[in-house]
Amino acid sequence: MKAVVSLNSGSSSIKFSLFVLEGDGALQLSAGGKIEKIGIAPTMIVRSVEGGVLLERDWQDGAALTHADLLAHLFAWAADHPLKGREIIAIGHRVVHGGTEFAAPRLIDAALLDKLEALCPLAPLHQPHNLAAIRAIAALRPNLPQVACFDTAFHHDKPEIASRFAIPRALHDQGIRRYGFHGLSYEYIARRLAQIDPVLAGARVIAAHLGNGASLCAMQAGKSIDTTMGFTALDGLMMGTRCGSIDPGVVLHLQTQLGMSPAEIEDLFYKKSGLLGVSGISSDMRTLAASKAPEATEAIDLFAWRVAREIAALAASLGGIDGLIFTAGIGENDADIRSNICRRLAWFGVQIDELANAGNGPRISMPDSPVAVLVIPTDEERMIAHHSLNVIGTGV
């Protein structure tokens, strides 16, 4: 039996999903998990589809273990467990940046890797780690096809006007433009919506991917026409630890008046802002929801206010809105946040059904709500596996 592995590699973590290819060509999730705290004291957990723990390991003295070492451990273990008797035919990687060139997933070779390497300055916190995992697998299994699936690709063909910053043209031509991210999630949502409600999928829909990273995508007939993230995954909504859109004058002030270095500002905006910065308590929505501190309530309200405000902005890009989809950790699980956001949008036809909102969805709006509101769980890993099969020519 054949298998496909999806990898999402970050600076200190690697998320993975192992899929097997059924006789009818369907992809069946077999196991999934995470390697965390790479560079400190790595831990690895693998769970079955039902959620049971298949493997739990930690390396207390493993600060020297690299991404490559840990992937070697994972593959050695998987070969005897969930993938026993199965042949891995492809590995798909989430690659955050495909630049202006890549509008679709690609089979990885040395020339492609060089081009992706050149994009590292556009996504310094993500792209190098994505590429490190590709190199690690190439060293471990040189003959295994690897596929790059780009987070920017879904937004590649959005209108030119949604790609441009109001800066001199020469800078745009150098690549300083709005790309957009979370594309694998939005692509999956567009496909699922087409199955759940094909009429709505053909209309004007805004998808809200609200996790640690958060963004919105305006879709017209399943295609991205605008999105809140821009040049980097720092733009747009307030996030767990990222500030989202901010007056560029703040950056200048931090540099010139407070004497902060570029590295300090990067750390501030990527790791110390957002829910964490405003609450002073946590970047995790569950922790904030459980807190009685006024700063936690303010952080949650600011998050919801920003989401509602940006939904209204994207509705202008779409010329109206027929549907609103919530997805990712917060969007899928936090009924209070959904309700908070929707209340702020009642004026333009978002009428949520609180009973349905507390249930399992997918539809959580009133039957006569002018805007349909749905909760659809995302699955970026499945999208990566699906693309990988298509690229190597075994797709369904």
Residues near ligand ADP (CB under 6 A): 211-213, 240, 284-286, 328-330, 333-334
Query: 3-state DSSP: the chain helix, strand, coil percent, rounded to 5?
Result: 40, 20, 40
Q: Can you read off the two tokens belonging to residue 394?
A: 């075994």
Least Å distance, CB 338 to ligand ADP, is: 10
Residue 197: active-site member: no
Q: Can you read off the two tokens belonging to residue 43?
A: 């831990």
Which of residues 108 and 154 has its CB atom nearest to ligand ADP in the complex?
Answer: 154
The Cα 151–Cα 157 span in angstroms is 13
Which of residues 197 and 379 has its CB atom nearest to ligand ADP in the complex?
Answer: 379
Least Å distance, CB 102 to ligand ADP, is: 22
Sorted by sequence, the CB contacts under 8 Å of residue 265 that are 6+ apart come out as 251, 254, 255
Beta bridge partners of 374: 325, 363
The Cα 76–Cα 74 span in angstroms is 6
Q: Which of 148, 75, 155, 80 is nearest to 113 (CA)?
A: 148
Least Å distance, CB 93 to ligand ADP, is: 16
Cβ-proximal residue to ligand ADP, closest one: 329
The DSSP result for 194-211, as a single string, is HHH-HHHHTSEEEEEEES
Tell me if 214 sits within 8 A of 239, measured CB to CB. yes
Q: Can you read off the two tokens belonging to residue 309?
A: 């405000």
- The one catalytic residue in 151, 197, 226, 322 is 151
Which of residues 106 and 181 has its CB atom nearest to ligand ADP in the complex?
Answer: 181
Which of residues 145 and 240 has its CB atom nearest to ligand ADP in the complex?
Answer: 240
Which of residues 9 and 163 has its CB atom nearest to ligand ADP in the complex?
Answer: 9
Sorted by sequence, the CB contacts under 8 Å of residue 313 that are 6+ apart come out as none
Active-site positions? 151
